[in-house]
Amino acid sequence: MKPLLAALARQPLSHPPVWVMRQAGRYLPEYRALRERHSFQEAVSTPAVAAEITLQPIRRFAMDGAVIFADIMTPLEAMGVDMTFAPGPKLRPHTLAEIAALPELDLDRVSFVAETIGRVGVELPDTTAVIGFCGAPMTLLAYLVEGGGSKDFLAFRGEVRRDEGAARAALDHLARAMTAYLKMQFEAGADVVQLFDSWAGLFDTDQYRRMVAPAAGAIASTLDGPVIYFAPGAGHALGEQLAVGAGAYGVDWRRPIDEYWDELGDVALQGNLDPAVLLTDPGTIKKEVGELIARVGNRTGHIVNLGHGIHRTTPPEHVQALVDAVRGG
Ligand code: 1CP
């Protein structure tokens, strides 16, 4: 069995599998070179290019998982939402009612993602898992209402407070679309999928319980394959995250992994090095990895990763140092 899948099944392993969130991206010179010739959206929607970008970090570092090159916003374009990337998504702010009334996801308009998965699967070593993904409903809603990224998403939070019923209708619609999108990814050959709930932490514990977890849970509960749920900055709602019903959780670096594990209980955990560790030096990286693995102790089901995406200023050699440290080099 592929080591990443064995960890998700909580089997004992001699060393944990490792991959890095945002491993296919701007810190790699070969990525930046390809992006000089293709816009972001063109790269995502051209399977040969998207597969090449997915494979770039695997060729260098032989991670245990290859995350498909796309964006959490990609399927929304196939629901009729126009956007550009500069570098993050930019779009017209939408009302909650407009979002609930968006057309159904047209899977034919995202079939390039399935084709990328197929191409990547053929090229990968047998031991490397294909990781599909989508944005969780509340995080997608944040970008749709705000019209792009934001430090605190205040306008969005105001809208959700003003009309929770309308927010729920929009979340339900997005959850149905993302369920179909992830089913397509599994059918195309994804071994595991990750739900990115990057902005779930903006909500208080009650809102999280009432809206955020049920929307993500509606996706996780209807899929047959393994699901990793990642809600950075939502440690205040850690127990509530269990209602999502994922078999594995990504955790940020704000608390040591053993504390997260004690509270979450019988699940696999992914994380949780501070991305800043990769800005240090190989010696420090090795020490931090050693401490992380020591904290995990004899628990099964650990996947080494960062507690958030890799920073674009990270030297690629430091990613090599991380992988070597995990594998005992
Ligand atoms: O070349 C460029 O300038 C584009 C930069 C870029 C990249 C490499 C964007 C725009 N998206 C991506 C790829 C991407 N995004 C992947 C696949 C590659 C990989 O992981 O290796 C994934 C899984 C994502 C996920 C994503 N996109 C998230 C969730 C993870 C997180 O960081 O919290 C979010 C919030 C986004 C939105 C987004 N898209 C792009 C950027 C720069 C952002 C975030 C910035 C913002 O909020 O404005």
274-300 pLDDT, tens digit per residue, is 999 999 999 999 999 999 999 999 999
- Ligand 1 atom closest to the CA of 87, numbered from 1: 3
CB 112 less than 6 A from any atom of ligand 1 = no
pLDDT value for 329: 67
Check residue 227 and give its pLDDT: 98
Helix (H) or strand (E) holding 72: none
107: which 2 tokens? 């899977």
Alpha-carbon gap, residue 261 to 254, rounded angstroms: 13
Strand-pair partners of 230: 196, 250
Q: Whose CA is nearest to atom 24 of ligand 1?
A: 71
Q: What angle do CA 320, 186, 48 make, to 5 degrees?
A: 60
Q: Which sign does the torsion angle of CA 319, 66, 329, 249 carry? A: positive
CB atoms within 10 A of CB 219: 28
Alpha carbon separation from 286 to 64, 282, 283, 290 (Å, rounded): 18, 6, 5, 6
Alpha-carbon distances of 143 from 81, 193, 244, rounded to whole Å:
11, 21, 21
Any ligand 1 atom below 6 A from CB of 245: no
**Burial of 246 per CB tally in 10 Å (0-12, 13-18, 19+):** buried
Q: Rg of the chain over CA atoms, in angstroms?
A: 19
* CB of 71 shorter than 6 A to ligand 1: yes
Q: How confident is the model at residue 224 (pLDDT cuts 50, 70, 90)?
A: very high
Dihedral sign for Cα 12, 16, 20, 21, please. Answer: positive
Average pLDDT, rounded, for the chain? 98
Average pLDDT of the residues in 105-124:
98
Residue nearest to atom 2 of ligand 1 (CA): 87
Q: Are 177 and 137 in contact (CB under 8 A)?
A: no
Q: Is residue 151 pLDDT above 70, yes or no?
A: yes
Q: How far is the CA of 246 from the centre of ligand 1 (A)?
A: 22
Closest residue by CA, ligand 1 atom 15: 71
For the chain, the 3-state helix, strand and coil shares in percent, each to the nearest 5, are 55, 10, 35
Residue 19, Ramachandran bin (φ over 0: left; ψ between -120 and 50: alpha; else beta): beta
- Does ligand 1 lie within 6 Å of residue 85's CB atom? yes
Mutating to test ligand 1, I would choose from 18, 71, 306 the residue with most ligand atoms within 8 A of its C-beta, which is 71
165-184 average pLDDT score: 98
Residue 133: how many other CB atoms lie within 10 Å:
24
Q: Is the CB of 89 under 6 A from ligand 1?
A: yes
Ligand 1 pocket check for 25: Cβ under 6 Å = yes
Residue nearest to atom 19 of ligand 1 (CA): 22
| Residues contacting residue 25 through CB under 8 Å, at least 6 positions apart | 31, 309, 310, 312
pLDDT digits over 231-281, tens only? Answer: 999 999 999 999 999 999 999 999 999 999 999 999 999 999 999 999 999
Q: Where are the beta strands (DSSP E) in the chain?
A: 65-67, 83-85, 89-91, 129-135, 192-196, 227-230, 248-250, 268-273, 302-306
| Arithmetic mean of pLDDT, 5-20 | 98
C-beta 327 within 6 A of ligand 1: no
Give pTM, 2 decimals: 0.97
pLDDT above 90: residue 35 = yes
Ligand 1, atom nearest to 44 Cα: 13
pLDDT of 11 above 70: yes
- Does residue 74 have its Cβ closer than 6 Å to ligand 1? no
Supply the residue whose CA is at minimum distance from atom 17 of ligand 1: 69
Distance CA 240, CA 205 (A): 8
Percent of the chain with pLDDT over 70: 100
pLDDT value at residue 228: 98
Write down the pLDDT at residue 258: 98
